[in-house]
Structure 1
Amino acid sequence: MEALRFDAKAKKLEYTTIPIPKITKPDQVLIRVAFAGVCGTDLHIISGEFPCSDETTTLGHEFSGTVVDIGSDVKHVKKGDKVSVDPNEGCRCCDHCHSGNIHFCDVGGINSTIGIHRNGGWASYALVPQHSIQKLPETVNLEQGALAEPISCLSHGWDLLSPIPVGSSILVIGAGIIGNLWVSLLHHQGHRKVTVSEPNLKRLLFTRNLDTGYDLITPDQLQQNKENDKNYGFNVVIDCSGFCPAIQQGLSLLHKGGKLCCFGVAHPDATIKVSPNELFFKEISILAVNVNPFSFVKSIGFIEAMGDRYLDYRKLGVQVFLLSEYNKAVDMLREGKIAKAVFKL
C-alpha cells in the first residue's frame, strides 16, 4: 500500500510502499482510509518543533475510512461501516485517567497519539484499537468524518468556555482551518457579534465564503479600531494562531470579566507578556485547550448538526490532494494559499 512516512532523525517525509497491516490482536480494526487531514501540528512535526516517535512513522492523526476487517473481540462495528478515528487515549491506570483527564496522561494523551507516535492515516490502510473507532451516522459522509478530530478539540474548548451568552462580542484570531471551524461553530450556536482577525487576505476570503456576516479584518485594522474607540473590545477572544504578538493583542482587547482561549499551538520556546495587575483589575480568565478528552461523540453530533451549511470543503478553504502530492500540499498550506490540506486515498 502507499504510505507517507516521517523519519524523525532526518526530519524527512518519504512517500513509499509498505505492506498492508494485518490484525494480530482480537481488539484491532483494519480501516481502508478514505480521507486524512494535514494538521498544523503535522507541520510542526515535520519542522522538528513538536515531539513525535523516534522511529520512522506513518503520520496522520485526522482520518476517516471504511472498516475492512475486525478482530474477534470487536462487536460495535462491522465490515463496511463508515468510521472516524479518535487518535488519543490514556493508559487507563494513572490518577489523571481515573479522574477523567486522559489528555494529561504521561503515558497516553499526546504522548501516544495515533499518527504522531503510532502509525496513522497517511496510508491506504490503518490498523487501530477498537476503542479508537467512532462509527459515523448515515447522514455524515467520509469527507466530514475526516474533520471529526479537530472538531472534537473545538468541542473540548467549547465546554471550557461555556457558557458564552448569545450577544457576547467575540474575537477569533486566525482564519486557518481551526479559525474557520470556530467561526462555523459560533454561527451555528447563534452568535452574531463576531470579529475575525487575520493578516493573510486570501485566508479571509475563505472565511467570507462561510457567509456568516462576521466582521473580517486584519490585525492592523483591529488596532486602529481600538485607537479610534477606547471602549472597543471583546467579551471572549479565541486565539487559533499560536502567534504570541496576536495573543497579546487579543488579551489587551478583553473587556472586564473577559475570557481568553488559547487554542492555537505555539512554538515551545514562545512566550507572552501578561500584566497580573490587569488580570486582577479586569478579572480576566485565561483558558487553554489540550486535544479532546471524551469529546469525540460530541464532535460527531456537531458535524451531524452543522452539515454542508458549514462543513463543505470549498467553503472552509480545504483542498484535496493525492498522497503522492504531499510536497505541494505542505507548501500550499505553509504559504497560506489554502486553509487546510486533506489527502484522498
Structure 2
Amino acid sequence: MKAVVFDGEKLSLKYDEKYPMPKILNDEDVIVKVEYSGVCGTDLHIIQGEFPARKDRPLPLGHEFSGIVHEVGNKSIFKKGQKVVVDPNRACNLCNFCRGGNYQYCLRAGINSTIGIWNDGGWAQYVRCPQDQVYALPDGITTEQAGLCEPYSCVAHGFDRAAPIPVGSKILIVGAGIIGNLWVTTLHLQGHRDVTVSEMNKTRLDIVKGLETGYRLINPDVLAAEKQLYDVIIDCTGVGKVMEINFNYLCHGGKYVLFGCCPPTHQATVNPYQIYDKELTIIGVKINPFSFPKAIGLLSTSTIRSLVSKHIHSPSIRTR
C-alpha cells in the first residue's frame, strides 16, 4: 500500500510492497481505509526532532484521521463500509491512573501508545486499530468533518479542565491556528461573547473573521500596548516565551490554560508572587481522555468547513 513514512530523520513516500498492508491480528481489530488525515503541529514537532516518537522502525505518522471500515475481526461490533473516526490514544486499563479515569497520565499506554506516533498512523491508505479506539460517525457528519474530531476532542478536554468558565468572562485566545479556531467555535457555542483573539498572522485573523463570531481580533502589539487583564487566557501557540509575556495579563483569580504543546526544550519564567497575590491557576491540557463523544457532538453543531485550509489530493493521504 501507499504510505508517508517517518524513519526518525526524514519522511518518504512508500509504494505498494514497500510498506505492508495491515492485517487483522486480534478478533476485535478494525482495519480502516483512510479518507482524510490531518497534519498536526505535533507531527511537525516530531519531524523536527522536538517531540518523542517511535524510532526503532519506520512508520506512517498521522493521529488525526477518519475513513471507512475495510475489514473487521470476528468479534468486532463494526461492519464493513461504516464511516468511522479513530481516537489515537487509549488506556492500559491496569495502572492506577487508568483505573481512576485519567489515562492521559498512563505511562504504559496513553500518549505512549498513540496511533500515528508509536503505532502506524493515518498517513497511509489503511490502518489497523483496536475497536475500542474506533467511533462510528452519525449520518450528519462526513469523514471530511471528522478529520477534525481528534483536535476537537482535545479542546473538549481542555474546556472541561478550565471549567467553570462563567458566561460573561473576559477571555483571551492567543494564537489563531486551527486549535485556536476550534477554541473560538467551542466558546461561541457555549455562549461566550467577550472574547479577544491575538494573532500576528493577518491571514489567520481573516479566517477567524470568516467564522462571524463577532470576537475582537488583534495582533500581539495591540495586546502589549493595551495591557488589559483577562479572566481566562487560552494559550494555543506552543511557545514558552508567549506564556512568559501573556501570563502578566491575567486578572485576580484568573486561569491560564496552557493548551499548545511546547517542545520539551522551551522554558518560561513566571512570578510566584503573582500566583500567590492574584490566586492564579495554571492549567495544563494533555490529549483527550474520554472526550471523543463530546467532539462528535461539537462537530454536529459547529460550522467548521471554513477551517479546512487545504486538501492534499494524494492517494497516500486521501484515498477516496
TM-score (norm 1): 0.89
1:71-94 deviations in whole A, cap 9, x for unaligned?
A: 00102x211110000000121111
* Distance in 2, Cα, partners of 1:269 & 1:2: 34
With over 3 angstroms needed to count, the CA separation of the structure-2 counterparts of 1:324 and 1:15, relative to structure 1, is farther
* Distance in 1, Cα, partners of 2:254 & 2:244: 14
Q: 2:309 is matched with which residue?
A: 318
| 1:344 Cα deviation from its structure 2 partner | 2.5
SS in 2 for 1:344: coil
1:161-197 deviations in whole A, cap 9, x for unaligned?
A: 1111111110000010000110111111111111111
* Distance in 2, Cα, partners of 1:270 & 1:24: 40
Q: 2:284 is matched with which residue?
A: 288
| 1:113 Cα deviation from its structure 2 partner | 0.2
| 1:305 Cα deviation from its structure 2 partner | 2.1
* Distance in 2, Cα, partners of 1:305 & 1:317: 16
| 1:103 Cα deviation from its structure 2 partner | 0.9
Aligned length: 315
* Distance in 2, Cα, partners of 1:38 & 1:59: 9
1:187-228 deviations in whole A, cap 9, x for unaligned?
A: 1111111111111112111111111111111111101112xx
1:26-63 deviations in whole A, cap 9, x for unaligned?
A: 11101110100000000000011111112101110000
2:13 is matched by which residue type in structure 1? Y
Question: Which deviates the most, 163-172 or 197-206?
Answer: 197-206
1:110-189 equivalent positions in 2, closer than 5 A: 110-189=111-190
Q: 2:251 is matched with which residue?
A: 255
* Distance in 2, Cα, partners of 1:63 & 1:166: 33
Q: Structure 2: which 5+ runs fail to align?
A: none
2:11 is matched by which residue type in structure 1? L
2:260 paired with 1:244: no
| 1:317 Cα deviation from its structure 2 partner | 4.8
* Distance in 2, Cα, partners of 1:344 & 1:208: 29
Q: 1:202 is matched with which residue?
A: 203
Query: Percent of counterpart pairs with the same letter?
Result: 46
* Distance in 2, Cα, partners of 1:145 & 1:249: 35
2:300 paired with 1:304: yes
2:311 is matched by which residue type in structure 1? V
Residue of structure 1 aligned with 2:74, choices 63, 69, 72: 72
Residue of structure 1 aligned with 2:61, choices 59, 62, 69: 59
| 1:115 Cα deviation from its structure 2 partner | 0.4
Q: Which runs of 4+ in 1 moved over 2 A?
A: 322-325
SS in 2 for 1:121: coil
Alpha carbons 2:125, 2:318 under 8 Å: kept: no
Alpha carbons 1:103, 1:110 under 8 Å: kept: yes
| 1:248 Cα deviation from its structure 2 partner | 2.1
Q: 2:272 is matched with which residue?
A: 276
Alpha carbons 1:209, 1:316 under 8 Å: kept: no
TM-score (norm 2): 0.96
* Distance in 1, Cα, partners of 2:308 & 2:107: 35
Question: Which deviates the most, 245-254 or 120-129?
Answer: 245-254
Give RMSD over aligned pairs: 1.2
Q: 1:336 is matched with which residue?
A: none
| 1:324 Cα deviation from its structure 2 partner | 6.9
SS in 1 for 2:119: coil
* Distance in 2, Cα, partners of 1:173 & 1:249: 11
| 1:245 Cα deviation from its structure 2 partner | 2.4
Q: 1:13 is matched with which residue?
A: 11
Q: 1:93 is matched with which residue?
A: 94
SS in 2 for 1:128: strand
| 1:322 Cα deviation from its structure 2 partner | 2.6
SS in 2 for 1:38: coil
Q: 1:334 is matched with which residue?
A: none
SS in 2 for 1:172: strand
2:32 paired with 1:4: no
SS in 2 for 1:238: strand
| 1:256 Cα deviation from its structure 2 partner | 0.5
1:302 is matched by which residue type in structure 2? L
Question: Which deviates the most, 239-248 or 138-147?
Answer: 239-248
SS in 2 for 1:45: helix
With over 3 angstroms needed to count, the CA separation of the structure-2 counterparts of 1:84 and 1:100, relative to structure 1, is same
Alpha carbons 2:229, 2:249 under 8 Å: kept: yes
